[in-house]
Structure 1
Amino acid sequence: MLKDTPKHQGKRNQLIDILAQKGITDTKVLEAMKHIPRHLFMDSTFEDHAYQDKAFPIAAGQTISQPFTVAFQTQLLEVKPTDKILEIGTGSGYQCALLVALGAKVFSIERQLELFKKTNLFLPKIGLKPKKLIFGDGYKGLPDEAPFDSIIVTAGAPFIPKALLGQLKIGGRLVIPVGDDPQIMTLLVRTDTKKFEKTTFGEFRFVPMLQNKN
């Protein structure tokens, strides 16, 4: 049952206060998170923990990211309504739902078939359906739909895939956690056809980005 109660809403409000205290300043991001029922993206056994600022396991050995991490990455994207955004790693669909709630046209790629099928069925049920959900290799991006206003990677990448850089518009933003464990949150802004401005934002922990699967 897809239930979202006043109790859930109250817990969400508390979580939003925590995120604001931790330094999330983008009010649009906080407002959107206030309305997304995170508990529905998780196994019901973890429902009581849904509004803690922690990551939790989901299917296929993956996790639903810590709310602060989701908010932090989204804030770095500087999402504007109608932005065309590529997400690498749909996972539970929570990050994807947030981008849709912010008015973006989202194209999301998932490598795990189990998660892809589950999320593809789930997101339309809560009215936060992306433009397109694709089962495929995130390292390759989505050249058929490029260029993108921004690209977000929600798994730890050992390196920055060149294909993703090439699929950004001039002025476009790539937010990607780079490294093994932990990763360094990295923002690349495309300033020219061959130039990128890079900024780093400290250590985060993500599950590894999968590659070389057919």
Structure 2
Amino acid sequence: MATDTQDARERMVRETIEARGIADPRLLGAMLSVPRHLFVDEDWLELAYADRPLPIGEGQTISQPFMVATMIDAARLGPGDRVLEVGSGSGYAAAILGHVAKFVIGIERHESLVEAARERVTRLGLDTVEFHHGDGRQGWPQGAPYDAIFVAATGDAPPPALLDQLAEGGRLVMPVRDAGGEMLVRYEKRSGEVEATPLCPVRFVPLV
């Protein structure tokens, strides 16, 4: 089983992430290191390494691997960065981030998902990742400022509290609604101003 999942993980990274232009060796290494099947409900294990979102309970999904990689790559993370993830769900993306950044805080509004995510990262020995139950729109001011913030849900614009918690030079990556549907956007804070860069069309659950 371990060999089978390792082979599936390697194919996933090679064929659905690296082949589509993600080249950061630290990110690719992180995607190889984190076993996605541990973050997927038992009913969906056969599809754990497919490049598609999957249900995780509470009406939420685990994002497709390529989208996780795309969002992380867009933030241009450094090894010393502090990261906030809003809508951490099963904890998969936070676990990837835990291999790329210095420290990661995940916020999730469903307490059952928080508890499951904590158990998973503990099982993997990731002491650089912690999860909290709360309203992601308010962020987690106790850990601010953050060098990068990820929002895994769609809104009309970044919540003001999250922009306040973003460090100077920091990057916030989230999907936002536009006239054509939803667009992944990177926001960068420079001299107190925020500059937005559209990246690609996406589809996420709404930010509530």
Settle same-fold status: TM greater than 0.5.
Answer: yes
The residue aligned with 1:187 is 186
Q: Does 1:5 align with 2:25?
A: no
CA shift digits 1:76-126 (9 cap, x unpaired): 111211311111011010000001111420111101122112212221111
* Unmatched segments (≥5 aa) in structure 1: none
The residue aligned with 2:48 is 50
CA shift at 1:159, angstroms?
2.3
The residue aligned with 2:67 is 69
Partner SS for 2:183: strand
RMSD: 1.6
What pairs up with 1:60-139 in 2 under 5 angstroms? 60-139=58-137
CA shift digits 1:15-67 (9 cap, x unpaired): 11121111212221111101110011001221111111111111111000000
Which amino acid counterpart does residue 98 of structure 2 have in structure 1? V
**Equivalent residue pairs, number:** 206
What pairs up with 1:164-183 in 2 under 5 angstroms? 164-179=162-177, 182-183=181-182
Partner SS for 2:27: helix
Q: Does 1:20 align with 2:31?
A: no
CA shift at 1:131, angstroms?
4.2
**In percent, how many aligned pairs have the same letter?**
38
TM-score by length of 2: 0.93
* Unmatched segments (≥5 aa) in structure 2: none
Counterpart Cα distance in 2 of 1:103 and 1:150: 9
Structure (1 or 2) with the greater strand fraction:
2
Match for residue 36 of structure 2 among 35, 38, 43: 38
Partner SS for 1:69: helix
Counterpart Cα distance in 2 of 1:93 and 1:40: 10
The residue aligned with 1:154 is 152
Counterpart Cα distance in 2 of 1:118 and 1:32: 20
CA shift at 1:141, angstroms?
1.0
TM-score by length of 1: 0.91
Counterpart Cα distance in 2 of 1:100 and 1:33: 11
Which one is further off, 125-134 or 45-54?
Answer: 125-134
Which one is further off, 139-148 or 84-93?
Answer: 139-148
